[in-house]
Structure 1
Amino acid sequence: MPVALTFLSRYAWLIWLLALAPTFVHADSQTSLQRLHEPWSDLLNRHVTYEGRLDYQGLQEDEAELLDYLMSLRKVTPSAAWTPQETKAFWLNVYNASAAYLVVQYYPVSSINDIRVKALSGAKSPWEAPVVNVGGQTYSLNQIEREKLSSSTPDPRIHFGLMYASASAAPMPKEAYDGSRLDQQLDAQTRRYLNDSNFNLLTATHLKLSGLFDAYAKDFGSPSEVRAFITHYTQTPIEPTATIEYLSFSWALNDRNTLNTSQPMSRH
């Protein structure tokens, strides 16, 4: 890619944030919400591999489509008329598409944690930079996770639905999240992740769990609650006294081809 185009591509998110104030629209029906997320669903269908990895090089070729989708979100004001599941699906899609777009701007990169986003107050991590714009309001990825997807009754399945851009995180689905099917989609994500020995090793008496369980221990609850949660999603019989340990966590990019460098998972 020519140097000038590379520069423009890397700072496209800044142009996106500094664009003129949008004309707000409302997506108050299930059908209109589904149409809103269709472009993202199409991109996932094209660029997520069978194993649940993201083909960033391929997505880079469709960067304009991804940016168009993100720009459309500037015109949407989340509505009180949405169901809780529709709201949750909306923010999951926003988070995942924004994280993917951020990686695309700096690709090739070995880990999302290597990215430093230039901002007026200085370089910020990819988790704290204001790289998301919804309804004219800017957010960081962490703000979306903590303020929009957390509640007094946490749904730990969220951590298998968020695109942490990590090889040790849950495989990505090949479709956008849909409020009308969100429970089934998150259940499928959780079941797929827990029963994959690349991420968790489960026996009746000993659970070797992804570092995600340790980093978000508050959401998963006590050891007995963790065992009950796992039992719900696996056919492996889990003893009430099964011991728990946490596996190292690879922050290598969840690219279709990736290195496997491991390190402890910590909340970003």
Structure 2
Amino acid sequence: MKYISILLLVLITTSCIGGSDLYYQTLKNNETIPSQKGQLDHGKWNALLKKYVNEAGFVDYDSFKNEQDQLKEYLSYLNVNSPQESWSINEQFAYYINLYNAATVDLILQNNMPESIKDINGPLGQVWLKKYIKVNDKDYSLAAIEKNVLQKMGDPRIHFAINCASYSCPKLQNKAFTAANVNELMNLSAREFINSNKNDFSNPSDPKLSSIFSFYPEDFTQNGMTLAEYINQYADTRIAEKDKYDYKEYDWSLNKQ
């Protein structure tokens, strides 16, 4: 009975995610994201990030609230300019990463800056399933954008590029992703996160990793890589191969200045 209940919960949760109708392309094995100009203008989002997010990735939500109308204008712009088959894959990555991050900030502002994003209610008690992000005037959840689009696009660096408004998340970059910079900025995001205090490599033979690596193990070990091999691409201190790693407790407190 216990396993039936778990199965039903998984099925219900999966059905709540949605997003399977959103357009995206997938990277082929070992393909890298090209750097080329796109057609979308992320300037409004870039200006807001420069003004209200510091170099450490923490957000001045109190001041950001004064320009929430500008944020909503940007999200409205993304709503009516959704990914098309004619778009390059780098433009699609930039679109969905910015959409996720901007919608997360908007969600925090809508809910008067709670102590944690997890304090915001949603279906099955999960904020990630709350459908409030508009694309082509249809509502989607954060889970839909992450799990049914970005993860399926095939580049695990998205886990370092999107920010869930929490202390243990990768930092919110204070510049917008664009078709021209998305590969470079995803590399920077991966390197900064892996070498930050979100991981503990003080003992490289027995490191303590961010729980992000336990949340999405298959993403980081695709193409036959081990977890250590993936991390060591970006780590200043190389970690040892282990059958099982220890993970740091995740801090869901709000990433506010």
What range is the shorter-chain TM-score in?
A: 0.7 to 0.9
Same amino acid, percent of matched pairs: 29
> Cα distance 1:224–1:71, how it changes in 2: closer, same or farther (>3 A)?
closer
Corresponding position of 1:186 = 186
Q: For 1:1-150, list aligned pairs within 5 A.
A: 30-33=37-40, 35=41, 37-116=42-121, 125-150=126-151
Distance 2:118 2:195 in 1: 27
Cα distance in 1 between the residues matched to 2:178 and 2:210: 26
Shift in Å at residue 224 of structure 1? 6.1
Unaligned runs of 5+ in 2: 1-35
The answer to whether the aligner puts 1:201 opposite 2:181 as a matched pair is no
Q: Which amino acid aligns with 2:39?
A: S
| 1:50 Cα deviation after fit | 2.2
- Residue of structure 2 in register with 1:232 after alignment: 233
Instruction: Note if contact 1:207-1:242 (Cα within 8 Å) is conserved in structure 2.
Output: no
* TM-score normalised according to structure 1 size: 0.76
Structure 1: gaps spanning 5 or more residues: 1-28, 257-268
Instruction: Trace 1:212-231 onto structure 2 (pairs within 5 A).
Output: 212-221=212-221, 225-231=226-232
> What is the CA deviation profile of residues 96-131 of structure 1, one whole-angstrom value per residue up to 9, with x for unaligned ones?
1011101001123100110125xxxx7863211111
1:149 counterpart SS class: helix
Q: CA RMSD in A?
A: 2.2
Report the AA paired with residue 195 of structure 2: N
Q: Does 2:160 correspond to 1:160?
A: yes
Asked if the contact 1:116–1:124 (Cα under 8 Å) also holds between the matched residues in 2, the reply is yes
Do structure 1's residue 211 and structure 2's residue 216 form an aligned pair? no
User: How far apart, in 2, do the equivalents of 1:76 and 1:145 lie?
Assistant: 19
Q: For the residues of structure 2 that align with 1:235 and 1:242, how far apart are their CA atoms?
A: 22
Instruction: Using the TM superposition, give the Cα deviation of residue 242 of structure 1 relative to its aligned residue in structure 2, in angstroms.
Output: 8.4
Q: Which amino acid aligns with 1:107?
A: N
